[in-house]
Structure 1
Amino acid sequence: MNEISTNIVFLSLGTNKGDRLSNLDNSIQHIEHKCGKILNISSIYETEAWGNNDQEAFLNQVIEISTQLTAHELLAEVLAIETLMGRVREVHWGPRIIDIDILFYGIECFNEPNLIIPHPQLQFRNFVLIPLKEIAPDWVHPLLGKSVEELILLNPDKLAVKKVLRS
């Protein structure tokens, strides 16, 4: 009998278009329905836009899930959820209804044209690290060998991250 593998995954959610709170809630519902069991949800944080700051502020959140999907299947599902929710990719780092990024897929690492895990920029983004610290402060980045707490201390990002709603 084959044993089904379960993986712990951290996802980053971000939105700055439309009803931002509903966008986060809806994405979490879709993720739970299509991707796996929600194990932990961070508070919601408001942040200035990163990379392209000529746009509305974002609401960001990090969730931890348990999934039986492979990393490739998970990527396909989160992209499908973004599309279902109305995301259109027009401008790099532009405004969006929802953005779902795979931060970590267990301790596995992928470096493929369409799949890079751990997320290659997470250690430079307070809007990811601060909510991640709330739910997994001791999680160790498998490539950098540093905990989330340590990554925050080393992070040069100076954009403010303000907690707006507790989980």
Structure 2
Amino acid sequence: MPTSQEIVYLSIGSNIHPRVANIQRALRLLRALPAVDVRATSHWYETEPWGNREQSNFYNVSVALTTRLTPDQLLAVCHQIEQDLHRQRLVHWGPRTIDLDIIFWGARKIRTATLTVPHAQAAHRNFVLLPTQEIAVGDDLVAPQVAQMIAQNQDQSWIKKVRNVSELDD
């Protein structure tokens, strides 16, 4: 993946029915944005809930994109997509119709009141690191960050690559 323009990586997940449709709709909404160019999408993964494990399993994907948006503008877009898909923030690490997180933005380090990049918990989450590693191959800015985080990661939760999205049950 060329690095002449910074590649931004998002993690997208859902564990509330219909999980597949929720993620597909979020991807369509991202692709429809004129200021966003989706470059790659990882395989889909079924994953054990992280944090609060008393809930349904998640489906997760990582997305690589370029954008003309600022980090704060992209964060606002992610929050709008979550709102459009009826995300409710009722329980910390609880069930969600959709979750979009900015994980990496090239080599940038961002720390504001509303956004931390690399994502503050990325280094501790298989469901973020493994799908991102899959699509960051060749990205000289992000692939080394992901490899270092994976080497130090102690997350014991299971993660299973899905071969065919059409076979997923919701």
TM-score in terms of structure 1 length: 0.88
- Contact kept, 8 Å, 2:106 with 2:141, in 1: the verdict is no
For the pair 1:81 / 2:75, whether they are aligned, the reply is: no
User: 1:164 aligned to 2:159?
Assistant: no
How far is 1:166 from its partner?
A: 5.3
**1:74-132: per-residue Cα shift (whole Å, max 9, x none)?**
00010000000110111110000000000012222211111111101101100011101
Match of residue 8 from structure 1? 7
What letter matches 2:32 in structure 1?
Answer: H
Partner in structure 2 of residue 19 of structure 1:
18
For residues 86 and 8 of structure 1, what CA distance do their matches in structure 2 show? Answer: 28
Unaligned runs of 5+ in 2: 166-170
Instruction: Determine the structure 2 residue equivalent to 1:50.
Output: 50
- The separation in 1 between residues aligned to 2:110 and 2:66, in whole angstroms, is 18
CA–CA distance in 2 between the matches of 1:38 and 1:113? 27
Identity %: 38
Contact 1:38/1:64 (8 A) holds in 2: yes
CA RMSD after TM alignment: 2.1
Contact kept, 8 Å, 2:124 with 2:155, in 1: the verdict is yes
SS at match of 2:66: strand
CA distance in 1: counterparts of 2:68 and 2:18, whole angstroms: 31
2:47 is aligned with 1:62? no
Q: How far 1:18 moved relative to its partner?
A: 1.0
* Distance 1:106-1:125 versus aligned 2 partners, 3 A rule: same
Moved more, 111-120 or 55-64: 111-120
Query: Residues 140 and 52 from structure 1, CA distance in 2 versus in 1: closer, same or farther, beyond 3 angstroms?
Result: farther
Instruction: State how far apart, in whole Å, the 2-side matches of 1:126 and 1:77 are.
Output: 25
Task: Give the residue type in structure 2 aligned to 1:9.
Answer: V
* Pair 1:37-2:22 in alignment: no
Q: Secondary structure at the match of 1:14?
A: strand
Q: Please list every run of at least 4 consecutive aligned residues from structure 1 whose deviation after the TM superposition is greater than 6 angstroms.
A: none
Asked if the contact 1:10–1:105 (Cα under 8 Å) also holds between the matched residues in 2, the reply is yes
SS in 1 for 2:128: helix
Q: Which runs of 5+ in 1 are unaligned?
A: 1-5
* Partner SS state of residue 134, structure 1: helix
Q: Deviation per CA, 1:11-56, whole angstroms, max 9, x where unpaired?
A: 0001000111111111011111235111000000011100000000
Distance 1:110 1:37 in 2: 21
